Structure 1
Amino acid sequence: MNSNLQRGTRINFRSLLTALCLTLTLVSFVRLDPAVAQEQRIRTLTVTGRGIEAIPTTQTQVRLGVEVQGKTAAAVQQEAARRSSAVVELLRSRQVEKLETAGITLSPNYSYENNQQRLTGYTATNTVSFRINTESAGTLLDDAVTAGATRIQGVSFVAAESAIEQAQKQALKKATQDAQSQADAVLSALNLKRGEILSIQVNNASAPVPVYRQFAAARADANATTPVVGGEQEVDASVTLQIGY
């Protein structure tokens, strides 16, 4: 009787152990879901590449104006308007691009004697900005001065918009190749292989804003043309890649 009881107890204990092992195995399978395990095994490398494309500038951005001084505000403003109209008419006849008013000012002038302020007159300025082919910029500036312009506040040089768009694409291409080259160098040093690209981020692909340079309009020879010489413009781009390995 006791022998049968002990045998039954051992059988039940073995069944309990078997059931417990099966339960633990099922739990392990649930926890080790293939998708989760695969995600945990992915290792990534993040690199940022840079690309620069230099293109020649072909257009000149000009800012010029008229400055008039006089005794009364009305007379000064009227004369400034007359000269400015003549300059604008000339610019339109030369078919300049992006012609617009850049500023209009009228301000009083004072003198100070014996700690006293005295009104001496007024100064009016009218300023316009425009864009023209660089080859024609020097001649146009000289003609604008003849027409009434008294101030050349600065020039800047830019490439054509179509050239900038093409340069942006090339800069992005170079930035992407640079990022891939960096990744290959790092992984090769560690004896690792590059995997698939997991994410791509385009950080920037733009041309710098033109910076105006001071420009002297005076000429020693009245028959000479003011020289205007452009240069190169750089388009900068950067791309960030996240690469698995």
Structure 2
Amino acid sequence: METQPLAVIGVVALLLAGGVGYVVADTGGAPSATAAEPTAENATVSVGADATVERAPDEATVTVAAVGRGETAAAARTNVSGDADAIRSALEDEGATVTSSRFSVRPEYDYSQDGRELVGYVAVHTIEAETTDVDRVGTLVDTTVDSGADRVQGITYSLSDETRSDAREQALTTAMDRARGDATTLATAEDRSVGDAVTIQTNDGGQPVVRAEYATAADGGGQTNISPGPVTVEVSVHVTYELE
């Protein structure tokens, strides 16, 4: 029986070296393959970079609560309602905007080895308010406590949309500069230069400044002073460049 030579059909392999793609192409049936010179069309480099920008907060959210107790749920609700109205009015008088008001009531038990005994009900009225005068947050806290707040459940500092947008733009510019710098370093190692960006992907991050403060109406004493830290805006980019 006559032996037929085997044909090389569609052999394509991608060899990666330093982020640069090299193509080994079909030789049209010849028993060997040769490496083609990389071109701008088939050679790219991908890099990732990030950047963080800090800004002083220009918005703050204060969350406080009034707590009332009673033998019945209705009594607990009645005992807390007056304080809640006073707190809301005090916040608005100080220029804050009340954005949320939540109410809950639950039974309260006394637990012992013999089981549990219902001793009454606890009503909690939580009020959340925003202000753009972040220097007066301490005053807001004192005002709410003086008006009947039993808990200062949290203070969150953040950025306005305009400030955050400006910070994000700066962070993106810095991240892209870093990405191109890294790509240039890699390309130079392969005796190449960086061309246009082929794809760009972004991802945002960053955290507001959160300060948890607790106080009761009975605490009294001096004025509350709070000094927030900066708010961070973080971005990351993943960029693929052509190599020339």
Please give the range of the TM-score, normalised by the shorter of the 2 chains: 0.7 to 0.9
Cα distance change of structure 1 residues 188 and 76 upon mapping to structure 2, 3 Å threshold: same
Partner of 1:216: 214
- For the structure 1 residues 98 and 57, does the alpha-carbon distance in structure 2 shift closer, same or farther, using more than 3 Å as the test? same
Give ranges in structure 1 of 5+ residues lacking alignment: 1-27, 29-36
Q: TM-score, normalised by structure 2?
A: 0.76
Distance in 2, matches of 1:90 and 1:220, equals 18
Q: Deviations over 1:153-201 (max 9, x none)?
A: 1112212322111001111111111110110111112221112222222
Q: Is the contact made by 2:92 and 2:98 (CA closer than 8 Å) also made in structure 1? A: no
* Residue number in structure 2 paired with 1:183: 183
- How many Å apart are 1:229 and its aligned residue? 1.0
Superposed CA deviations along residues 179-231 of structure 1, whole A, max 9, x for unmatched, are 10110111112221112222222x223442x3643213369995621011111
Distance in 1 between the 2:112 and 2:205 partners? 53
Contact persistence 1:168–1:206 (CA under 8 A): no
Q: Tell me the equivalent position of 1:240.
A: 238
Is the 2:151–2:214 Cα contact (8 Å) retained in structure 1?
A: no
Given that 1:108 and 1:121 are in contact with CA atoms closer than 8 Å, whether structure 2 keeps it comes out as yes
Q: Which entry has the higher C-alpha Rg, 1 or 2?
A: 1
Q: Which runs of 5+ in 2 are unaligned?
A: 1-27, 29-36
Label 1:121 to 1:233 Cα distance change in 2 as closer, same or farther (>3 A): same
Aligned to 1:168: 168
Residue matched to 2:120:
121
Residues paired across the two proteins, number: 207
**What secondary structure, in the 3-state scheme, does the structure 1 residue paired with 2:149 have?**
coil
For 2:40 and 2:219, the matched residues in 1 are separated by 77
Q: Deviations over 1:95-135 (max 9, x none)?
A: 2135212x321011111344132111110001111222221
Indicate conservation of the 8 Å contact 2:145/2:217, yes or no.
Answer: no
Q: Which amino acid aligns with 1:192?
A: R
Q: Does the 8 Å CA contact 1:109/1:121 hold for their aligned counterparts? A: yes
Residues 134, 228 of structure 1: 8 Å contact kept = no
The 5 Å alignment of 1:153-164 reads 153-164=153-164
* Structure-1 residue corresponding to 2:106: 107
Amino acid at match of 2:229: G
Partner of 2:5: none
User: Where does residue 34 of structure 1 map in the other structure?
Assistant: none
Where relative contact order (Cα < 8 A, 6+ residues apart) is larger, the structure is 1
Amino acid at match of 1:48: G
Q: What's the offset of the Cα at 1:38?
A: 9.5
Measure, in 2, the Cα distance between the counterparts of 1:109 and 1:92: 32
- Structure 2 counterpart of 1:230, from 228, 235, 238: 228
Residue 141 of structure 2 is aligned to residue 144 of structure 1: no
Q: What fraction of aligned residue pairs are identical, expressed as a percent?
A: 25
Which whole-Å CA distance do the structure 2 matches of 1:144 and 1:135 have between them?
16
CA distance in 2, matches of 1:222, 1:142: 9
**Against the structure 1 CA distance between its residues 71 and 44, is the aligned structure 2 distance closer, same or farther, given a 3 Å change threshold?**
same
